[in-house]
Structure formats: C-alpha cells, structure tokens
Amino acid sequence: MVWFRKKKVKVPEGLWIKCESCGEILYKKEVDRNMGVCLRCNHHFRIGPRERLAFVVDEGSFEELDHHLEPTDPLGFKDVKRYKDRLKALKKKGASKEAFISGRGRIRDVEVMIGLFDFSFMGGSMGSVVGEKIARLFERAIEEKRGVIIFSASGGARMQEGIFSLMQMAKTAAAIGEFKRHPYPYISVLTDPTTGGVTASFAMLGDIIIAEPKALIGFAGPRVIEQTIKQQLPEGFQRAEYLLEHGMIDMIVNRKDMKDVLYRLLSIFRR
C-alpha cells in the first residue's frame, strides 16, 4: 500500500549561484544586494555596466552619450558564423548595441565623464565603435573640463574587425595623449578580465590605475605565455594582487568602497 506519493517540486532557475572561488552555493538575491560580491570569500562576480553605474554614480545623474552608434561589418567577416549574424542575434536578445557605454554623471558633487564595458557583448571586445566612443569621451571631457573614469572588462581587440579593431589601440592612446595636456584626471578601473589590446592601450594609461580584487589583467593569456617562454608562471600571475606587488597598478579596491575611493581621488585632483 502506498502511504504517500512524492510530489515533484520545480525550483525556479537562477535562484542560486556557485562562487567560482570558494565553491559556496549562494542565494543570488543576497549576492545582488552585496553588489555582486561573495558574502563568504569576497569573490567579485562579473557584473554588467548598468549594475555598476548604480553603485558608482549618483542616482539619476547618468546621461548616456553616443548610444546610437552601432558596429558594422567592414570586412564581411565569417568564421563558424557571420559577424553580421552575431550582431543581429545579440540585438534580438535585447543586449546592448555595443560592448561599451559612455556618458556623463556625478559622484556626489563631482561631475565626471564615465565609460563602462559590457563583457556580455562579445566578451567586451574593442571594435571600431568602442574606440570611437572612448575617443569622443575624452574629447568631451576636455570641452566640459571634467575628469574621466573608465571601467574595463574585455577580452581585447575584436578579431571580426581585423585591422580596424587594432587601429583603436592607437586612436584611444592618441585621444588620451591630447587629454593629458589638460589638468583633468583619468582614472582607469580594471575589472575581471582586462586583457589583450585593451590592456595594451587605454586601460594602462590612467593617471591612477585601480583594480578589483583578483581581477585577471594582462595581454596574452597565461597558457600562451607558458607555451611561448617554456616556463611555469608564478602563482597568481596576472592577478590584481601580483600586479600591485610589482608596481603595475596603484591600488586594489573592493566594489563596496569604489564610489568613496573615486570621489576622494577626484576631489584631490580638483584642488
């Protein structure tokens, strides 16, 4: 005789996430409330640009610029899929129009220009539009006499745009060179991951370079380097802590402290 029957309970997806660092299973809403940071080990999960804006700039102060700019397919590139089709698919999903959003905002009483990468859009890769938006950000900062903050999260140059993508390294560096002729600060914030052509250009040209804890920062990946030099790399190589120890970055800042630190730095430069 069957005394009871098992009732299947359907658990909604996305309620729980596993920490990549400590392996703890976490209630996602609690992680979201903690700014996307593990409550147990302080692992900083990747977050989108809109979420990050909510933590950094004053509510309602952000005004997006150049949102109408969209990537094209200058090379008619195709690998397993046409570049055009990849862009269409991202648009259908309701993703951003590009891997970078930019605009003006306010951190307490300091007006700034701010740019943020969206790693969910083709790995935050830098194509022609990303380079153009970054260059325009610095040009506007000169006109409006504001400092610039850029949050990087990128796999590097976008291979689907070939040389057009690589040209953005020089273009962004030139824009920063012009910007640095004026007395306004450029603060570069490196989040996980910041690699490739982004690291080799504007991301490492800040007056102050900040990183989030344990962010992967480098040009080539660790495996590529090991295969090239035929040597094992040191523990934690290319992580923020290793770079801080070797003088490549200026400080490591927890996400919850980021707004306060940015405000203090901007205030110092303003004097």
Are 38 and 145 members of one domain?
no
Q: Are residues 29 and 151 in the same domain?
A: no
- Structural domain contains residue 216: yes
- Give pLDDT < 70 ranges for the chain: 1-12, 271
Looking at the structure, tell me whether residues 51 and 41 fall in a common domain: no
Q: Which two tokens stand for residue 228?
A: 């090239």
Does 229 reside within a domain?
yes
Per residue in 41-72, pLDDT (tens digit) is 999 999 999 999 999 999 999 999 999 999 99
Q: Is residue 141 part of a domain?
A: yes
Same domain, residue pair 102 and 121: yes
Is residue 2 assigned to a domain? no
Q: Residues 130, 28: one domain?
A: no
Q: Are 74 and 108 members of one domain?
A: yes
Q: What is 136-155 written as a DSSP string?
A: HHHHHHHHHT-EEEEEEEE-
Q: Report CA 242 to chain centroid distance, whole Å.
A: 19
Q: What is the CATH number of the domain that holds 83?
A: 3.90.226.10
Over the chain, what is the mean pLDDT?
A: 94
Residue 208 lies in a domain: yes
Residues 23-34 have pLDDT tens digits of 999 999 999 999
What is the count of structural domains for the chain? 2
160 and 234 inside one domain:
yes
Q: Is residue 226 part of a domain?
A: yes
Task: Please tell me whether residues 96 and 36 are part of one structural domain.
Answer: no
- Is the pTM for the entire model greater than 0.85? yes
pLDDT for the residue 56: 97
Q: Which two three-digit tokens encode residue 21?
A: 């660092």
Give pLDDT, residue 8.
Answer: 62
Distance CA 236, CA 108 (A): 36
Alpha helices in the chain (DSSP H): 28-33, 49-56, 83-92, 128-144, 162-179, 196-199, 222-229, 240-245, 258-270
In-domain check, residue 5: no
Domain shared by 110 and 213, yes or no: yes
Single-letter amino acid code for the residue at 215: A
Tell me, yes or no, whether 37 and 63 share the same domain. Answer: no
Q: Are residues 64 and 154 in the same domain?
A: yes
pLDDT at 96: 82
Which residues span the domain enclosing 35?
Answer: 12-45
Asked if residue 258 belongs to a domain, the reply is yes
Same domain, 111 and 17: no
